[in-house]
A and B are shown apart, each in its own frame.
Chain A
Amino acid sequence: MTQRITTPAPSTRLLTVISRCLFVIASAALLWFIVTFLYWPNAVALKSVFLPDSGSVWESIQTLAASDRVVAALRNTLVVSLISVITVNIVGTLQVFLLEALDLRGLRFLTIAYALPLVFSSVSAITGYAMVYGSNGILTRALQTVFPALPDTWFTGMPAIILVHTFTMTGYHFLFMRPALRRVDFSMVEAARSLGMGVVPALLRVVMPIMRPMVLASVLMVFISSIGSFAAPNILGGTHFPMAAPLVMALSGLGRQDLAALLGLGLGLVAVILLLWALRAERRSQLFSSNKSHKPFERITLRKPAVRVAAYLVAYALAAINIVPLAATVLLSFSPLEAIRRGELSWTFTFEHYLDVFGTPSVLEPLKNSLVLCLIAIPIALVIGVFASYLIHRRRNKLTDILQISVFLPHFLPGILIAVGFMLAFGSPSALVAGQVLIGSYWILPLAYVVVLIPLTVRLTSAAFAGLDPALDDAARSLGAGPERRFFRVTLPILAPVLMQVAALGFNGTFDEYTLSVMLYNLNNKPLGVTLGALAATQDLDMVGITAAYVVLNTFISLAVVLFADRMAARASRRALGSATGGAR
């Protein structure tokens, strides 16, 4: 055989120089983005609090503390958040165990029902809940026929907000706790049972401790979402139940951005304290399995009839609570206006509300705006996220450790604080953005969306990077492939399914985003979430149908994106059937 030595050709050397230049440019762009949009707004917010133009931070604190409404809002926020953490985790964990650990009939239906918060969340879901339980809601009307004394506003305040939180914040459990449970070595459950433990105690005493890091993570996520909760208190809070995030917006609207920033920072501080506690607790609860082999998790058949019936009742009741608001919204979206006005359910269907949506520019425009905003923000977030993950995993050093902390910063800050930071940082010309004033411009919203999308993107792409067999890159190198070829021909195609799912998740989080949107939007970019929030808050019965159609369209688009991404991801990963690296057959 003719042997040949491969020596780098001059063209290869040129390519290496070009690729190094591109790498430096990309790194500089990433650094600029992080400094400008992750650090600078927070720094300006801190400055406005601690070095205000007039007065002092102590005076600002006294002003806030003197307001009964502010004190009540902070107390309410804390109580709602603590209760939400408990209720969301009970419901979310129950759903995960019902889906993955027990052998129940109708799992496909239950899976769809429990997955609904992924596509029917935020302001859409709150609007849906209002359509069932609100002053004009189907259930409210039905109950009033039996209990005429029931006030229209019975579904407001703390119980309403907690109920909505409980059933719309379980997406994290569905997405992340389910795979974590599937990864638990089932032989541990079998070992517990062989030692005389029953099924349910084995799940509680063996599996749950292993899942503790996931539970802690979800506690953190729910708490941060709850203290920054905006849409639920705004739409369902009523006049007598203030919460912190809407108050921040109100203060900002009154021109007291220093007080808004102080309140936002207070919320951020609580989130950081909880984060530190969660990290400490997670470190303590980190368990490492020493098992040589791993047995996939199996569904357990409940033998005792009473336990079995109870499991079915809980499973289907949870599914019903998730489905009813969406079903009612769909029904209302097809109901004639006369039936809605009379407060009756109609079995005559009409498309008039959908035609109204498409025929009313003030309603249709925000839908189009949100689509365009997503199409801008998601690809930018993906590029930044993938590049950051690449640096974090492939070039570990102190700088990339700082990068890792930086990109997760928005994850732990309430959306309201990010919005206030943006308003303060970009409300006047800034050298970091070439002297432009971004507030009032089209770009403020897509940039804010990118900021909140980055942690999700980095988190999931990092997990994918970590799961990549490093030998794949080594193999490509040994075959003569340079860095670009290795990234674009090996790493990226393998990451593609994850990126598609990240894009879909990002779309769901951004398409009807409310908190940042309502604080930062302007006439050029009014998004769907803001319009939906306004529609949901209206008491006009004539608008119920159009609102319902709007919610259904939003949910349908989100669902279509998720299903499309899922199909594309499945197609991309089908080629890698099973594990292609190692393993005898």
Chain B
Amino acid sequence: MISTQKLTVGYGETTVINGLDLHVQAGEFLTLLGPSGCGKSTLLRTLGGFIQPASGTVSIDGRDVTRTDPEHRGIGFVFQSYALFPHLSVADNVAFGLKARQEERKTVTRRVTEMLEVSGLSELGAAFPGQLSGGQQQRVAIARALAPKPSVLLMDEPLSNLDAELRVKMRSEILRIHRELEVTTVYVTHDQEEALALSDRIAVLRHGAVQQLAPPHEIYYRPANAYVGQFMGATNSLTDNTCRLFALAPVAERTPFVRPERIILGGDEPRAHTAAAVVEEVTFLGPSTSYTVGVGDQRLSVQETSRNGTVWHTGSQVSVGFDATDVMWVES
């Protein structure tokens, strides 16, 4: 388990994290999600001991480690650049942490073999990092971090250097390894899809403060505020005038959001809330097609599965609609 109490971190005059309380349960996979500059990597590096907080505490398994050096925290850290030691073989990289802890040779060999197996790298023990593909390097970085059996695994955007296809594949690998070893993991990313796919809980960060800490489903369907809603892809925030056109009764101090994929263009089934619209822009994206439609004086984003048949064109007059359950009433 890892937790922070009233944690404040800054660089010079700038405060990046201000009085943060965060509790990660044992065995949990928690993701720190947010845009660039929101303080997620700073928070992770503070948990790792690479940055000293201005005030507050960091505890790992109930032990206050705020002033403990990273080498004595019992953490595993996976870096964005992997930071593999280029002069050491894969096996030596994985063994590095065990040797630093002066483990017996037999234990080192057994544990390295075990970790290489878990990571699917058994054949590559003698290879050097420069001879590996990006995905393989990534696996070595995880195996190396996990070899000394850390209390907590901290991962700083470990998939950001990989191409899209490999990223999806490695996502499953990380999830598999996490489930197999049940190590408490704090993961940093700015990719919403990655966070939704991997996490037990997600902490959405903005200006160093947690906006919402909840399981992925809840974050997606019940965003705590407009920022979380918009960051998680709810781009249509309906104005009062648009609400009237859709016959949607306003709720005090709440803003209605409708996700682009929940809005239906045309459609045979009647929707609870419909309005007349004009298609202004059509963007074919392969599996889906994105439309911008004008409803009154507002432009709405709509996303539909691409079809070979009916396709709306720019200038098409069309009715748009959604159900009452598709509306997310978010704190203004």
Interface residues of A (CB under 8 A from B): 1-8, 12, 469, 471-472, 474-482, 485, 489-490, 493-494, 496, 572, 575-585
Contact = CB atoms under 8 A, between A and B. Distances in A.
A225 to B, nearest CB: 36
Interface string B131-171: 11111010000001100111100100000011100100000
Contacts of A582: 80-82, 134, 137, 161
Interface stretch (B3-11, B94-102, B289-297): B94-102
Contact of A581 (B74, B86, B131): B86
Contacts of A580: 82, 84-86, 128-130, 132, 137
Given A6-B148, A469-B81, A479-B148, 11 more contacts: A474-B48, A474-B83, A475-B83, A478-B77, A479-B97, A480-B74, A482-B71, A575-B86, A582-B82, A583-B134, A585-B132
Contact of B96 (A8, A476, A575, A584): A476
Residue from the set A475, A482, A572, A581 with the largest chain B CB neighbour count within 10 Å = A475
Contacts of B26: 3
B76 interface: yes
A478 B75 contact: yes
A584 B163 contact: yes
Contacts of B76: 478-479
Interface string B62-80: 0100000111111111011
B61 interface: yes
B77 A475 contact: yes
Interface of B: 26, 48-50, 60-61, 63, 69-77, 79-88, 96-97, 100-101, 128-135, 137, 144-145, 148-151, 154, 161-163, 166, 181-183
A579 B129 CA distance: 8
A368 B272 CA distance: 98
A9 B61 CA distance: 18
Across chains A and B, which 3 residue pairs bring their CB atoms closest together, nearest first? A576-B86, A577-B130, A479-B97
B97 A584 contact: no
Contacts of B166: 584
A170 to B, nearest CB: 33
B60 A471 contact: no
B144 A479 contact: yes
Contacts of A485: 100
Nearest to A483: B71
Given A474-B50, A478-B145, A6 B85 contact: no
Contacts of A584: 133-135, 161-163, 166
Contact of A579 (B50, B63, B85, B130): B130
B134 A474 contact: no
Contact of B74 (A2, A6, A471, A583): A6
B71 A469 contact: no
B60 to A, nearest CB: 7
Contacts of A475: 77, 79, 83-85, 144
Q: At the interface, is chain B mostly helix, strand, loop or mixed?
A: loop
Contacts of A575: 86-87, 128, 130
B151 A5 contact: yes
A576 B129 contact: yes
Contacts of A494: 85-87
Contact of A477 (B50, B82, B84, B181): B50
A6 B130 contact: no
Nearest to A479: B97
B72 A6 contact: yes
Contacts of A476: 71, 85, 96, 100
B76 to A, nearest CB: 7
A477 B70 contact: yes
B249 to A, nearest CB: 48
Contact of A480 (B61, B79, B128, B148): B148
9 contacts: A1-B183, A6-B72, A8-B72, A475-B83, A477-B69, A479-B96, A580-B85, A581-B84, A583-B161
A579 B135 CA distance: 14
Nearest to A572: B87
Nearest to B133: A585
A480 B97 contact: yes
A471 B83 contact: yes
Contact of B149 (A4, A471, A489): A4
Nearest to B89: A575
A478 to B, nearest CB: 4
A148 B82 CA distance: 73
A474 B79 contact: yes
B200 to A, nearest CB: 17
A442 B85 CA distance: 42
A472 B85 contact: yes
